[in-house]
Amino acid sequence: MLHDLFSPFMLTSYLASALVGTACGFLSVYVILKRLVFLAVALAQLVSAAVALAFFLHLNPTVAALGGVVLGALLFSWPALGSVLPRENAIGTSYALASAAGVLLIAKNAQGEEHLLNLLYGSVLTVPPGELWVMGGVVILAGAVYLRYAKEFLFTSFDPEMARTLGVRTRLWEAVLYVSLGLVIALAIHLGGIMLVFALLVMPGYAVLLARSRLRPAFWGAVVLALLAAVAGPALSLIWDVPTSAVSIGLLGLFVIGGAGIGHWRGALERGR
């Protein structure tokens, strides 16, 4: 069993999990603080609908997923979208339509159930090397952009009025945030599945913010928690013979509980001073 844990097959799955965990963990702080949880769900559903359409038309599913999610991200970040009614209405409508379209397309596909299971649970244990290179390139590129323009992203996300006063192009950086979130979702879903990717986009950031972490350390803390859960998932699933995504999500749940406990303890200390 110990030898199996370090086989080339498992090392590849650890690398894939680490890439997904790094990208999703970092973005999870933005997702929580900007209240983009519903947006993340809608983008994930757009990816599943685009992939279902690709299988139905015998197209490349990765290209279809990238195209669908980028168009969705640009649409959701369009300033005029929220000029009449709140942006959430358009996001909710898109989610419902994408869900229905995905179900109908999968139902008309002879291999629909298999494709649906792949979307839900991913294939982190059978990742082709080419997809690792693509995901690695996206992680490096997105990381470089976020680190280089950290001030612009933070101002745009958490104090847009001040950002505009300082001359920051808030609409541009918000569009970049949405598109990068969409790209990560599109690529990560094929590796980890919708369930795991959504959990990694929400729960690490939720855990560190519940623990009352300061903003900048929160990003690194969320990455560490996401990495731990994502990489431990394949190893524990091999040992226990259970689904990988379920193990990783369970670990993330424990981190959230731990974060809530630390936050409560810190709050009690502050009240006692």
Average pLDDT of the chain is 83
Mean pLDDT, rounded, for 108-119: 60
Return the CATH number at 255. 1.10.3470.10
CB 14 within 8 A of CB 5: no
H or E element that contains 97: helix 87-107
- Predicted confidence at residue 84, as pLDDT, reads 66
Mean pLDDT, rounded, for 92-106: 85
Count of domains in the chain? 1
pLDDT tens for residues 159-200?
A: 777 777 878 788 888 888 888 888 888 778 777 777 888 899
User: Is the Cα torsion angle 131, 135, 140, 145 positive or negative in sign?
Assistant: positive
Instruction: Provide the residue range defining the domain that includes 98.
Output: 2-272
Q: For residue 136, with 0-12 CB atoms within 10 Å meaning exposed, 13-18 middle and 19 or more buried, which class applies?
A: middle
